[in-house]
Structure 1
């Protein structure tokens, strides 16, 4: 079955296929890494100070398009047919930021955007853990923000954890895997900024 047919069935009918969807999505994320390096004119060797960070969250591929969602069996993971992917690449002297929209149904990309950030222009680093209720779903957002000179900022939503309302009301912590990623990034950025 080709990708488009699979995606239509997966999102519009109750069929299994989470592993197949995840394989297609991973293929798209790998393409995002290649696109990021290509647009920035970089090789993998020039961005190996830390493993690349690839984050994906739902966003419409074009105005008026419908984002389709599918919850995992345990209601702890959401899959979606359209997304904004964000990539951080870590060079020796610069952080490279890339973002684009992806339509997972077709493996199509649009709205590529890149910026090179010298480590010295990072003024501060912030993490933010927010509980949020939206459309009958309880979310725990984890944001990572870089504040740059000239009042510029880059915000990346690292994770959107879907949680049970009772858990949300009791209080939530940043998941350990996300904490590890954040700690590694912050250690590198502190070292590069001479802190």
Structure 2
């Protein structure tokens, strides 16, 4: 569940891990990197499951991904068990702040991307960000299922499929994840 990103000439690694002594499954951690394979300096916890929506089935914050826009860095993460409760939260930090200071980051009190009965997409999460073919449009890549009910442990259910959709932006400069799009029968391009 690790991801790397570069900000103002420094490379960082963000990842999920269990921290002994805490009553959770995983939290989100951050460290600077000396090079693409070596951590350097302190390793700090940015987030641990604290809201009810992060603790359904399992107390999980995992799968971080970072996008920088509008003078801020946004770190999405996934929360709860990997059934239909799986959803995404968002950590935000000002681009001028000390990224290694957990107090610099704010956490969304509600999920930013959740299951949707209308589009029949359940448990969206574990995302990443990229840019469309036009070189300008931001794209959200994630996985979800086409059904809500799972027999047994959702981790043993292999039917989470990759989804791709355009990522929008609110007028306040924060990401607009929208809702998980419905399946399509044909390939589509992400339009600008």
TM range (shorter): 0.3 to 0.5
Bigger radius of gyration, 1 or 2? 1
Q: Which has the higher strand share?
A: 2
Higher RCO structure, 1 or 2 (CA under 8 Å, sep 6+):
1
TM-score (norm 2): 0.37
TM-score (norm 1): 0.36
